[in-house]
Structure 1
Amino acid sequence: MNERRRTMTIQLNQIDWMQLDERVQQVIEQEHRIIPLVPGLEASVMRIEMGDHRYALKVWNRDSKPDIAKQYRLLSKLHQSGIRVSKPYGWGLDEQQNPVLLTSYDGEPVTQLTQVKLTRLAERLMDVHRYPVNKVCAGEDGEYISRYNFVEYFFPQIELHKDIHDLLANLIQLVQIRQDHLIHGDYNLGNILEMDDYYTIIDWTNGQYGDPRYDMAWSVFLITIYNGGSYGEIYRAQFARSASYTYTLEEEQVFEAVACLRWILLKRVVDVPMGPNVMERVHSMAVHNPYLNEYLL
């Protein structure tokens, strides 16, 4: 990730903190340095340097205003359970009432891929899917894990796109969408930080009860179209080697088609990242998947 070379002073004590770690509270008045990082689609991100400590500050200063209190609780629970997520230190509202989240700084997004890295990335996602949501009492669980309608959440404005709507409706009839696991919802290289051979999962805005088959398919799809078919196949194979992977070929193909349909829809309604050969790879997937066709593109 490239840093912008300018720095400026930020006053964390001007944020209306709803929750803040006691150790941070003790040094909140100290002057510290902020280094803007490459922003996401929904928020500004910056690294905060305070003495020998480094933190990440995320500010949702655009249209999206997620429930940061729930995200803070989810991160706290996952971090305590050993899932590789950033440690949350606080959340609140800035002077413009934008949600703010302060976490540990855990490195930079993964860029270069190897088979070892792909294995680690698959393991981290499977760790998420193994999180014991069913062992937490319903009342407490509901406080930090969201539940949404699958189609409404992941396929915005689908009612305006009859070709995708009809295909998706047929696919959902073939598999029963489950909501019995924790899923990340957007597990891609931009949401995985790397530092000292540790891989940390960030951006839990889409974290929810869901279907791990979809979560894996979406992740494999993104690796395939943005990094190449060979990497996608190596990555997919890491899931297939797991003893808990019991999905049929039909399920794999159906959820690959679902993931592809979502990307095609998003491309129609919002800006999606592009790059060399991306459209060619999507076209190839649409042609070779038995549930898709090239006329979607």
Structure 2
Amino acid sequence: MYPLEEIHWVAKDEAIDDLLEARQTVLPAGLEADVWKLSTPTNEYVLKIWCKDSKPDVSYQYAMLQTLHAIGVSVSRAFGWGMDHNQHKVLLTSYDGRALAQGDDIQRVSKLLAELHRIPIDRYPVRLRRQPDFVKYFFPRIDEHPDIAEALHLLLETANMKYTTMIHGDYNLGNVLAGPASYTIIDWTNAQLGDPRYDFCWASFLIRIDNDKVLYQTFIRTYLLEIPTSREDLARFESIACLRWLLLNRIGNVPKNVDTDRRIQEFLLQDSLIPKRLSLFI
């Protein structure tokens, strides 16, 4: 049992007062946090505890969820955030369904991202419009990998980065939940002011290397109908996404299935703007 009574809530909804008697169930943990499902007779919640190496700004994520929910984006409702007895940050949100499965509506998943990217930036409070350095944020320890750094520098020279909208920062099929009547975007740890082309292409690249071509093609075709993007930009930003994947694969564990490495090799050798020599160092 997780000691809910020992959480110090910095901000909270009155619903939190009913949680001490909630039934607790452990959910699959992520790379950054432990996750619990809390069930009361009337509602279900998710409690996320950042007890690993990651130290995100949970107050920012809480405020972002509140803003997005008010705008009408399909996100979890935020009920509170605080610190537990071990000084780990916690966030309480609504429970919004199951992980995506084969047969779910990939077109709807793609349209959700396009809807986010169409929201005018002035709909967000100024304090939420953070804009970290792109390379430092998304390419940790890149100075230790000069081959990737060189390839990234060449791509960014022609990318004409545009910090024009709020991006999710890690949009992928694992961060969308399927509920009875809707899909919900979760895990806004990396939300920031950024380039929607990167956000879209990080998502499309992950779908490309972990799923079949039909799913990938449906995702990009649907998004491009909503927000036109040139094929040149698609190739450039998917190559940037690939460099990030290669870096993360070197410095830590990244999720893979049995076909991921083969698909990475195919992308590097056939469709990327990345020097082919990097295909030897997956």
TM over 0.5: yes
**Which runs of structure 2 are paired with 1:125-274 in the superposition (5 Å)?**
125-136=113-124, 140-142=125-127, 144-242=128-226, 244-245=227-228, 247-274=229-256
Residue equivalent to 1:52: 42
Residue equivalent to 1:124: 112
Cα distance in 2 between the residues matched to 1:67 and 1:240: 32
Could you report, residue by residue, the CA deviation over 1:190-221 in whole angstroms, capped at 9, with x for unpaired residues?
Answer: 11111114110110000000100000000000
Cα distance in 2 between the residues matched to 1:95 and 1:135: 36
Cα distance in 1 between the residues matched to 2:147 and 2:232: 21
Could you report, residue by residue, the CA deviation over 1:269-289 in whole angstroms, capped at 9, with x for unpaired residues?
Answer: 110011111111111111122
Of residues 5, 10, 14, the one that matches 1:13 is 5
Q: Secondary structure at the match of 2:233?
A: helix
8 Å Cα contact 1:106-1:193 kept in structure 2:
yes
Letter in 2 for 1:289: D
Q: Secondary structure at the match of 1:58?
A: strand
Letter in 2 for 1:258: I
- Structure 1 residue 177: deviation in Å? 1.1
- Structure 1 residue 228: deviation in Å? 2.1
What is the identity percentage for the equivalent residue pairs of Structure 1 and Structure 2? 39
- Structure 1 residue 113: deviation in Å? 4.0
Q: Residue 42 in 1 paired to residue 32 in 2? A: yes
Q: Residue 97 in 1 paired to residue 87 in 2? A: yes
Cα distance in 1 between the residues matched to 2:181 and 2:267: 32
* Bigger helix share: 2
Cα distance in 1 between the residues matched to 2:272 and 2:118: 30
- Structure 1 residue 118: deviation in Å? 1.1
Of residues 57, 62, 77, the one that matches 2:67 is 77
8 Å Cα contact 1:191-1:201 kept in structure 2:
yes
8 Å Cα contact 1:283-1:294 kept in structure 2:
no
Q: Which runs of 5+ in 1 are unaligned?
A: 1-7
Q: Residue 279 in 1 paired to residue 255 in 2? A: no
8 Å Cα contact 1:70-1:145 kept in structure 2:
no
CA 1:216–1:172 in 2, change beyond 3 Å: closer, same or farther?
A: same
Letter in 1 for 2:9: W
8 Å Cα contact 1:111-1:189 kept in structure 2:
no
Q: Secondary structure at the match of 1:217?
A: helix
Of residues 6, 9, 14, the one that matches 1:22 is 14
Cα distance in 1 between the residues matched to 2:230 and 2:79: 42
Cα distance in 1 between the residues matched to 2:213 and 2:48: 33
Moved over 3 A (4+): none
- Which is further off, 161-170 or 282-291? 282-291
Cα distance in 2 between the residues matched to 1:209 and 1:34: 36
Cα distance in 1 between the residues matched to 2:272 and 2:187: 33
Q: Secondary structure at the match of 2:29?
A: coil
8 Å Cα contact 1:110-1:189 kept in structure 2:
yes
Q: Secondary structure at the match of 1:18?
A: strand
Cα distance in 2 between the residues matched to 1:44 and 1:113: 28
Give me the TM-score of the superposition, normalised by structure 1. 0.90
Could you report, residue by residue, the CA deviation over 1:255-297 in whole angstroms, capped at 9, with x for unpaired residues?
Answer: 0110111101110011001111111111111112251244213
